Structure 1
Amino acid sequence: MSDRRQNPPTVRLRRLAAELGRLRSTANLTREDVNEQTGINAATLYRIEKARARPQKRTLLALMELYGASEAQRADLLAVQGGSHDQGWLRPYHSELPEEYTAYIGFEAEARTVRNYESLFIPGLAQTERYARAVIKGVLPTASQKEVDQRVQARIERQGVLAKPNPLQLWAIMDEAAVRRMVGGREVMREQARHLVRLAEEPQVTFQLIPFGKGAHAGMTGSFVHMDFPDAQDPELVYVDTPAGDLFLESETEIRRYKSMFEHLQAVALGPNDSAELLDSVWQAA
């Protein structure tokens, strides 16, 4: 894949896009209205409001003037615009990873809290290297060794967010199927189970398991990740990995729906201590 592809959006770029869309809506202006009054192309404005393009400073100034932004709003948006291109989390080889995945890595690196439900896999932030390699080889049977190595490296590097000075808060819920599936063999799964138990002792990590005996539950429709960010003004995000492609959901309705779903899963799942005991019974003594 060409390294000249469009860089994935950053949290700041999403915030800038959301604020400009909100200001335009408050001003009761259509994109065509903005085009007529500023000369900014409607298609360009659409890309800006969808976080697909970073506005130049003169464009941002023209939009804020038209929308009647306050001095405080102007100062805030100019500060956000100045840092919206910052992608220090990118590694040189990331340009060869799928664009949606590099976008996800970037959002995760900037998140305050990740709430992850998995129905079939151990969450990526909790995977051992051997488990990750076995999963990637199984899910991507046609991938080259180089592609597998890059994805494994990216997955292990991602886990650094749990050990940084202000660590990411991870709340992961898994269906029992995720910990019972034999991925990579018995020794790999024993190692993975021990790693999960150790990780769950960290104050920034919470694990829960939903046992088979609970029957049908809200997570059976598929896995998802909900993220929020240190600045309350940065829009929350839901990520859904589907066979048809990765989705980033941002509307208030979608965010509420997935937050409610996660709350239902928290209620139906075993508590952290009972979850650790179930995990131990499955693999530690196997």
Structure 2
Amino acid sequence: MPPTNSPTLRQRRLGAELRKLREQAGLNTPRAAALLGVNQSRISMIETGRTPVSADKVRSMASAYECADEQLVDALTTLTGRRERGWWEAYREHVPVALNDLAELEHHSAALRVALIVHIPALLQTTDHARALFQQVAPPMRQYEVEHRLTHRIKRQGVLHRENPPPYTAIVHEAALRMGFGGPEATLGQLKHLTDMSELPHITVKVVPFGVPGFPTTGQSFDYIEGPVRQLDTVQLDTHYGACEFLDAETQLRKYRAVLDRMESCALGPTQSRDFIHRITQDI
């Protein structure tokens, strides 16, 4: 398979996980190359995600590295092959690369958990709400950029409407419900949409009211994207400059799982949350 100069996040993740297995086995690149019967540059290209690798090759590498975790190896084989031609490929020239990486991660996720302080979850936003957000970013985007971002976000939401969608849990702070992006009419439409979506069996929305003690957050929103095994989970952080930052070190994953668990313990239950959102609509 020919090399690529623009590997996807999934391809880079596969390479990084194979590098971890090699290092855990105590092998340097020359020794690994000798065991596998390939040159050193081939190992380097695989580990940076620049060369697509087959499922059989992944199994051969895992065997050479004496990895006994069959579930992990099986999960790694699902990351193999060429770049998938998902719907997001049509946006490769129109939105930041990280947004397409996020769309691909969501598409392949086993489950999704998100935590937001001042925004409604992207996968639960209405068109009017999302457009209002994009029109208020700094520096301002051109209108065609707003429309590209908007249609990309709406298409991302398809992951929640397909056959066998991933379980989706959103922990939303009361502040996000009261921000009022787009004005009263857009806000009412957004809150109604949020409660309607929360009625779907695979979607759980939990609200954290003002004044809850012990709320564990620094104010940063994040997504926790579960992979086929826990080692392949990913955290996506929103940044102040509008991009996505992805984390996958085990210590980081453990930290954000703990934060999500604590946030969820502070939140109202699903039914109470719907009632809470309904009461907010009466104030608009």
Global fold match (TM > 0.5):
yes
1:222-261 matched pairs, under 5 angstroms: 222-229=220-227, 231-232=228-229, 235-243=232-240, 245-261=243-259
1:112-127 matched pairs, under 5 angstroms: 112-127=110-125
Question: Is 1:161 aligned to residue 159 of structure 2?
Answer: yes
The change in CA–CA distance for 1:183 and 1:269 in structure 2 (over 3 A counts) is same
Q: Which is worse superposed, 126-135 or 235-244?
A: 235-244
Which consecutive residues of structure 2, in runs of 5 or more, have no partner in the other structure? Answer: none
Give TM-score, length-normalised by structure 2: 0.84
State how far apart, in whole Å, the 1-side matches of 2:79 and 2:116 are. Answer: 35
The change in CA–CA distance for 1:241 and 1:5 in structure 2 (over 3 A counts) is farther
Aligned to 2:172: 174
The change in CA–CA distance for 1:251 and 1:64 in structure 2 (over 3 A counts) is closer
Kept in 2: contact 1:113–1:168 (CA 8 A): yes
Shift of 1:18: 4.8
The change in CA–CA distance for 1:284 and 1:248 in structure 2 (over 3 A counts) is same
Q: 2:267 aligns with which of 252, 258, 269?
A: 269
State how far apart, in whole Å, the 1-side matches of 2:282 and 2:5 are. Answer: 45
- The alignment's C-alpha RMSD in Å is 3.1
Shift of 1:16: 3.3
State how far apart, in whole Å, the 2-side matches of 1:166 and 1:22 are. Answer: 32
Between the two proteins, what is the percent identity of the paired residues? 30
Aligned to 1:16, the other structure's residue is in SS state helix
1:1-286 matched pairs, under 5 angstroms: 6-10=6-10, 13=11, 16-31=14-29, 33-34=31-32, 38-41=38-41, 45=43, 48-50=46-48, 52-55=49-52, 63=61, 67=65, 80=78, 82-215=80-213, 217-229=215-227, 231-232=228-229, 235-243=232-240, 245-284=243-282, 286=284
Q: Which is worse superposed, 79-88 or 146-155?
A: 79-88
Kept in 2: contact 1:169–1:205 (CA 8 A): yes
Aligned to 2:140, the other structure's residue is in SS state coil
State how far apart, in whole Å, the 2-side matches of 1:211 and 1:76 are. Answer: 42
State how far apart, in whole Å, the 2-side matches of 1:5 and 1:46 are. Answer: 13
Q: Which is worse superposed, 82-91 or 118-127?
A: 82-91
Aligned to 1:83, the other structure's residue is in SS state coil
Deviations 1:168-187 (A, max 9, x none): 21100111111101201000
Counting matched residue pairs gives 275
Kept in 2: contact 1:117–1:224 (CA 8 A): yes
Bigger helix fraction: 1
The change in CA–CA distance for 1:48 and 1:129 in structure 2 (over 3 A counts) is same
State how far apart, in whole Å, the 2-side matches of 1:96 and 1:159 are. Answer: 18
State how far apart, in whole Å, the 2-side matches of 1:150 and 1:185 are. Answer: 22
Aligned to 1:136, the other structure's residue is in SS state helix
The change in CA–CA distance for 1:107 and 1:259 in structure 2 (over 3 A counts) is same
Shift of 1:95: 2.6
